Structure 1
Amino acid sequence: MTTSGAANSAVSSSYDAHFRVWRGDAEGGGLDDYTVEVNEGEVVLDIIHRLQATQTPDLAVRWNCKAGKCGSCSAEINGHPRLLCMTRMSVFSREDTITVTPLRAFPVVRDLVTDVSFNYTKAREIPSFVPPADLGPGEYRMQQEDVGRSQEFRKCIECFLCQDTCHVVRDHEENKEAFAGPRYLMRIAELDMHPLDAAEEQGLDRKTSAQEEHGLGYCNITKCCTEVCPEGIKITDNALIPLKERAVDRKYDPLVWLGNKIRRRE
């Protein structure tokens, strides 16, 4: 009787789910319907792989680690930017229709694969860390508090979900040239917080650069980027808002303005 009960339990844990998956390329496409088996403990990426194995071997999807650390399998599930490998089927009811589409903010290559090269272009536009001139390799020293402030931002896995959900990028193609997006404004904030970054001594004001060259002013802190971050990084509260405050101080604070005037005269 025990064996029979276990067998019945195993059978009942599997069911057929209704999936709608976007198929197409840069020329266009649409949603195709599939009925596919789901087993206990599976994630959406498992189901996509089962579709490839059993029904549609030419379905294109980008993935790598299947552990939520490479950021490769970004897509939109029922309209929400998510990682396929970190979205458990148990969050949906058995009656739900699950719609999987490519990231909307970026051009489609094929099926669920998008061209995210926009993000690499923006990454190259941000000047890297500038080491202090009077310190050599191995001589850098920082307080643990300073390390902790920027360590959160280094958890980023480059999934670009924050870039995809940001309405400045998502809904306004014309903004892309002038707007780095939350991921790279966070990078600027990280460098600006770094106590050893000597960019200003080299003539680079990261706060002014963020405002005038990377579109910080476009961000209206809706926190949608924070909501979709799979690493739980508080992009808005800990990076973008403080960077905005420092940029405003630099531009409008009368004491800062006077100090800049005095330095320029010298």
Structure 2
Amino acid sequence: MGANDPQAAGKPATKRQFRIWRGDENGGDLQDYTVEVNEGEVVLDVIHRLQATDAPDLACRWNCKAGKCGSCSMEINGKPKLSCMTRMSTFTEDETITVTPLRTFPIIRDLVTDVSFNYEKARETPAFAPPPGVAPGDYRMQQIDVERSQEFRKCIECFLCQNVCHVVRDHEENKTAFSGPRYFIRAAELDMHPLDARNDRKEYAQAEQGLGFCNITKCCTEVCPEHIKITDNGIIPMKERVVDRKYDPLVWLGSKIFRRGQVPQTSVTSGHSSGAVHSSGGAGGQHSHAGGSHDPQAELQAQKGVNWHREVPHPTAPAVDDRGKLPLTELTFDRAAAPSPFGDDVTFPLPPEHLNFAHPDQDKH
């Protein structure tokens, strides 16, 4: 074909109809524009052309124009999308394209919304907790563990999933108690992480993030531009693990009998000791076996020998009735049984240098 062939230069520009929301937090309306569209362009290209011609004051947030920053999120013909990844060729030539801001978040101006809600929830989400005693350069993971949560790390934080979630989209009052799908997959990723030292991700997701509000309609998965299976691979497994821990009668009964995962209710953990600090390491990396005071000064004294001023858990009567039977209330009580008077970190037999004694009149001092 010759250089002057009209097909060689591509399809000529056409006029298309756009309807764009204009306004601010005080209100606004949809305004109609007729704009030139060239072959291969995306919606963001058209918005930029409008800014250069008919609407120089049109506010629009964008950054990379490559579908990787998540900045240009908006609703196009009623569906949350990235404007830089929505090609004009997907619309018919006689179709009017309606562009509106994300509905779930407060409007700043035109197509720009205040998404600070998401950053507040990000700050509330507990960060990765490195394993104790392991330097960052010494972390080791199996490749299968890496692949298991790698999907969730593809999130570009466009917040389309947050916007489309009806729990906050239709109920503003839920925002204080609901983190949303973006942070559910964050919790799921950390719960799957073999090196994360926190073991309460499931409980936190249920109690603090509002996981129970989600009824898995999968609308968040449908709008994800990174094709993350938010519901199937993140939210549903987290819900299942929460149910296993919280509602499975066998797990519940086992936790009551064997006290798995519960902190001993000593006077220290109950807040009776104002000088206690929660650290298990003593001088030279040794434990005094002093019964849970964890006070550094007391640990130093214990390593030297007798420590007359340490605090020890006070022994309690056996959890049996006058017939020597374990009462039913012991299984239904929501607190752990009494701690060992020797402390939880004791291994027997004790080395002679670790022996420690309590003064018989310690409560009088």
Larger Rg: 2
Aligned counterpart, 1:71? 70
Matches within 5 A, 1:127-138: 127-138=126-137
Counterpart AA for 2:209: H
Matches within 5 A, 1:53-72: 53-72=52-71
| CA–CA distance in structure 2, aligned partners of residues 127 and 194 of structure 1 | 14
| CA–CA distance in structure 1, aligned partners of residues 169 and 212 of structure 2 | 16
Stretch of structure 1 that moved more, 54-63 or 205-214: 205-214
> What is the aligned counterpart of 2:218 among 223, 243, 257?
223
Counterpart AA for 1:166: C
> What is the aligned counterpart of 2:252 among 254, 257, 264?
257
Superposition deviation, residue 260 in structure 1? 2.1
| CA–CA distance in structure 2, aligned partners of residues 75 and 12 of structure 1 | 28
Higher-helix-fraction structure: 1
Q: Which runs of 5+ in 1 are unaligned?
A: none
Q: Would you say the 8 A contact 2:11–2:38 is kept in 1?
A: no
Counterpart AA for 2:202: K
Aligned counterpart, 2:306? none
Superposition deviation, residue 256 in structure 1? 1.7
Aligned counterpart, 1:113? 112
Higher RCO (CA-CA < 8 Å; seq separation 6+): 1
Task: Write out per-residue CA displacement over residues 188-220 of structure 1, whole angstroms, 9 at most, x where no aligned residue.
Answer: 1111111111112xxxx1111111111100101
Superposition deviation, residue 254 in structure 1? 2.2
Counterpart AA for 2:167: V
Task: Write out per-residue CA displacement over residues 161-188 of structure 1, whole angstroms, 9 at most, x where no aligned residue.
Answer: 0000111111111111100000011111
Task: Write out per-residue CA displacement over residues 50-70 of structure 1, whole angstroms, 9 at most, x where no aligned residue.
Answer: 000011100000000000000
- For the pair 1:139 / 2:138, whether they are aligned, the reply is yes
| CA–CA distance in structure 2, aligned partners of residues 232 and 12 of structure 1 | 31
Counterpart AA for 1:18: Q
Superposition deviation, residue 13 in structure 1? 3.4
Aligned counterpart, 1:241? 236
| CA–CA distance in structure 2, aligned partners of residues 136 and 186 of structure 1 | 26
| CA–CA distance in structure 2, aligned partners of residues 12 and 143 of structure 1 | 52
Q: Which runs of 5+ in 2 are unaligned?
A: 260-335, 340-365
| CA–CA distance in structure 1, aligned partners of residues 251 and 139 of structure 2 | 28
| CA–CA distance in structure 1, aligned partners of residues 26 and 112 of structure 2 | 14
Aligned counterpart, 2:291? none
Superposition deviation, residue 252 in structure 1? 1.1
Matches within 5 A, 1:15-164: 15-164=14-163
Counterpart AA for 2:61: R
Task: Write out per-residue CA displacement over residues 224-257 of structure 1, whole angstroms, 9 at most, x where no aligned residue.
Answer: 0000000010000000000000001011112321
Counterpart AA for 1:217: G
| CA–CA distance in structure 1, aligned partners of residues 207 and 35 of structure 2 | 50
Task: Write out per-residue CA displacement over residues 85-125 of structure 1, whole angstroms, 9 at most, x where no aligned residue.
Answer: 00000000110000000000000000000000000000011
Counterpart AA for 2:168: V
Distance 1:132 1:249, change over 3 A: same
Aligned counterpart, 2:347? none
Paired residues in the alignment total 261
Sequence identity, in percent? 73
- With the length of structure 2 as denominator, give the TM-score of the two structures: 0.70
Give the secondary structure class of the aligned counterpart of 1:195: coil
- With the length of structure 1 as denominator, give the TM-score of the two structures: 0.95
Higher-strand-fraction structure: 1
